[in-house]
Chain A
Amino acid sequence: QSVLTQPPSVSAAPGQKVTISCSGSSSNIGNNYVSWYQQLPGTAPKLLIYENNKRPSGIPDRFSGSKSGTSATLGITGLQTGDEADYYCGTWDSSLSAYWVFGGGTKLTVL
């Protein structure tokens, strides 16, 4: 069971918008930056969002991130079939010695 809670799956039609939630606690999301990763089938994870809402160079502005309290959200607009992937949130947890935690992952299906 993951420390961060994500919905197992979400789906939407091409061109639509989808959001993926990530719920944690004060020891992780509540007091640390959140990152989001995209994992296309058979590939390594790729950083999409860091420090809650920043995009690395090369990541289109269709991808956005936000955080409120102990939850974070990834938003994807203008869905494309190529966005079908697993999405993971991650952050530091300070409950013991600091360590990184991931969410359980969300499978995005573009119908």
Chain B
Amino acid sequence: QITLKESGPTLVKPTQTLTLTCTFSGFSLSTSGVGVGWIRQPPGKALEWLALIYWNDDKRYSPSLKSRLTITKDTSKNQVVLTMTNMDPVDTATYYCAHRHGGSSTFDYWGQGTLVTVSS
């Protein structure tokens, strides 16, 4: 059974760096084709894909946010970490991590999400 759970601060100040951790179980990030991605959703708005890290440490980023994002993995801890620099109130959103299915190239399991508010 695949599960993912996001953790991190619920409130950050403008200009600060956000660090979120996705802790997962039921799969290994060393398995060929597997990946873990991050997606966010501002209140009342659409989903926005942020980043993805593959089993082989290949990383993909949203072109519009690439300069602010860093994604890393710790295979031994079953964790993926996303950092986003220079946070702004418009970055207030629920942040989800999701399992990328190796064979079908889709996000098939999602975490419950964590709401991050950016405010001074």
Contact = CB atoms under 8 A, between A and B. Distances in A.
Contacts of A105: 46-47
A50 B104 contact: yes
Interface in A46-82: 46-47, 50-51, 54, 56
Interface residues of B, number: 23
A109 to B, nearest CB: 16
B106 A33 contact: yes
Interface in B79-120: 96, 101, 104-113
B110 A99 contact: no
A80 to B, nearest CB: 22
A102 B49 contact: yes
Interface of A: 2, 33, 35, 37, 39, 44-47, 50-51, 54, 56, 88, 90, 92, 96-105
Interface of B: 37, 39, 46-49, 52, 60-63, 96, 101, 104-113
